[in-house]
Every structure is written in C-alpha cells, then in structure tokens.
Amino acid sequence: MQNPVRPVPQMRIREKVDECMARLDYAGVERILSYWLSEAQQGGDKRGELMIRSELTGHFRKTGDKQKAYEHGEASLNLVFSLGLQGSLSHATALINLATACTAFSDYEKGLAYFEQAKEICLASPSADPSLLGGLCNNMGLALTALSRYGEALDLYGQALEHMKQVPSGELEQAVTFLNMADTVKSRDGMEKGEAEICSYLDQASSLLHTPSLPRDGYYAYICGRCAPVFDFYGYFMEAENLKNIAEKIHERS
C-alpha cells in the first residue's frame, strides 16, 4: 500500500521566495527551495517537486551555476514525463525554463531546440497564458540573436510585445523586450548605422518603465536594476542612474 502524498504549500513557498527576491537575498531563496524540495521528495509530492525544481532552475541561472541549473531543469523534464504531463503547458514551462538557462550559459543551439518544442506545445493549446507566450518569444529571441538570426529574433520580439499587452503590469516585460530589440539591432547594424532605431527602442523602454500604474514592489526594483546597465551602455546615463536609485530605495524599504 502506497503512503499518502503529503503536498507542500506551493503558494506559500512562492510568496517566501518573492519576499527574499525583493531583498535580493539569493541565499535565502536557495535555503527555502532546498528545504521544501526535500519535504516534497519525502512526502512523495511530485507536482510540488516539479514546481520547486523549476524555481531552482531559474535561481541557479540567475546566480550563474550552470551545473545546478541544468540538473534541476533536466529533473523537471523527467518529472513531467513521470507525471504523464507530456504535451501539457507544464511541459512547455519546464522546456522554457531549461531553454532560458541554456541561453544564459551560451548553449544557444541547445536552448533553441527546447524553445521550439515549447512553442509547438503552446501553439497547440488554446489555454496558453499570454505571459507564458510572451516569455517564450522574448527568450527565444535572445537565442536567435546570438545565432545571428536577427530577422527571426525581431519578429519574435514583436510577438512578445503583443502577448505582454494582455498581461497586468506587462509594461515591465515589454520594456525588457524593447531593450532586447535594441541589442539585436546593434548586433545586426552596428551602433552608428542602427542609432535611430536603437534610440527609438530605448525611449519606448524608458517610457514603459515609468508607467504610473505599475506597483513599485520588489519585482519592479529587480527589473529596474536589470535594465539600468543597458541604458548605461547606450549612453543614457541619467536614466541608468535614475533606475538604480529607484531600485535601491525599494530594496531599502523591503
């Protein structure tokens, strides 16, 4: 007779992780996720384990630990098949997480193969969330840019913008997409030839980041901190400094 599954509190785990991220407490994120991963495994909660391993894939991508990011990403895919979820949106999410990690660690061809599998699943699902589709198109565009497939990348960024218009507070992800578009044009045309188009994308990103209705929370601070170096690189020094200050003030309140 099988022991009953003891499910882990997925919503509470996500809330605790978000609280740590608001303080940029990466050690705290890892501590929480590692503890609950053990609890999920001991309690036989494979769905909970899938959620936690997905979070760990993203965490180790952000902290630059390639081996652990891949380990948890591949384990997530194994759990998808173990649970009989192949072809589901959970499968697509696991593929996107691993593909994004591959792109972050410059394994572009490998990442693109995972992205293409995820896109096929999403397009076949009428219930695919716009935020999932937006993230897929945006991150897939990064891999295509790295492979010098600039036209395809810009097309996907355009799709990402349309998807994120349907998402509450989607202005933040749209801003990131415009910055990615600027980088793609720079790679394709160079700074001088692409200047007008690059500046247009930067201006649109800046406007979106300062949307008055956006909650000034930990995630907003994270995005501001992530975007600031891009503006700095392109010579938008005042905007870069402004975004850094906004992020620091939010972190001080957290």
Structure confidence at residue 253 (pLDDT): 81
243 & 148 share domain: yes
179 & 57 share domain: no
Structure confidence at residue 171 (pLDDT): 97
- Rounded Cα gap, residues 181 and 82, in angstroms: 38
113 & 52 share domain: yes
230 & 189 share domain: yes
115 & 214 share domain: no
Number of domains in the chain: 2
- Rounded Cα gap, residues 191 and 203, in angstroms: 16
- Rounded Cα gap, residues 32 and 56, in angstroms: 10
Question: Could you tell me the pTM of the whole model?
Answer: 0.89
User: Which of 83, 84, 146, 85 is closest to 115 using CA atoms?
Assistant: 146
Q: Which of 71, 104, 128 is the last residue of a domain?
A: 128
17 & 98 share domain: yes
Kindly state the average pLDDT of the residues 217-230: 94
113 & 235 share domain: no
Kindly state the average pLDDT of the residues 205-228: 95
Confidence grade of residue 1 (pLDDT, cut at 50, 70, 90)? low
Q: How many CA atoms lie within 13 A of 236 on its CB side?
A: 23
Q: Which of 113, 128, 143 is the last residue of a domain?
A: 128
107 & 9 share domain: yes
Q: What is the dihedral of CA 26, 27, 29, 35, to 10 degrees?
A: 160
46 & 102 share domain: yes
Amino acid at 227: C
Q: Which position has the higher pLDDT, 1 or 176?
A: 176
Kindly state the average pLDDT of the residues 215-240: 95
Domain assignment of residue 4, given as a range? 1-128
Q: Which position has the higher pLDDT, 86 or 4?
A: 86
Kindly tell me the sign of the dihedral angle through the C-alpha atoms of 133, 138, 141, 143: negative
76 & 176 share domain: no
Helix axes 218-233, 10-22, angle to 10 degrees: 50
- Rounded Cα gap, residues 41 and 82, in angstroms: 14
Confidence grade of residue 254 (pLDDT, cut at 50, 70, 90)? low
243 & 141 share domain: yes
Over the stretch 52-69, which tens digit does the pLDDT of each residue have?
999 999 999 999 999 999
96 & 139 share domain: no
Kindly state the average pLDDT of the residues 31-38: 97
Q: Which of 128, 158, 189 is the last residue of a domain?
A: 128
CATH code of 83's domain: 1.25.40.10
Over the stretch 176-193, which tens digit does the pLDDT of each residue have?
999 999 999 999 999 999
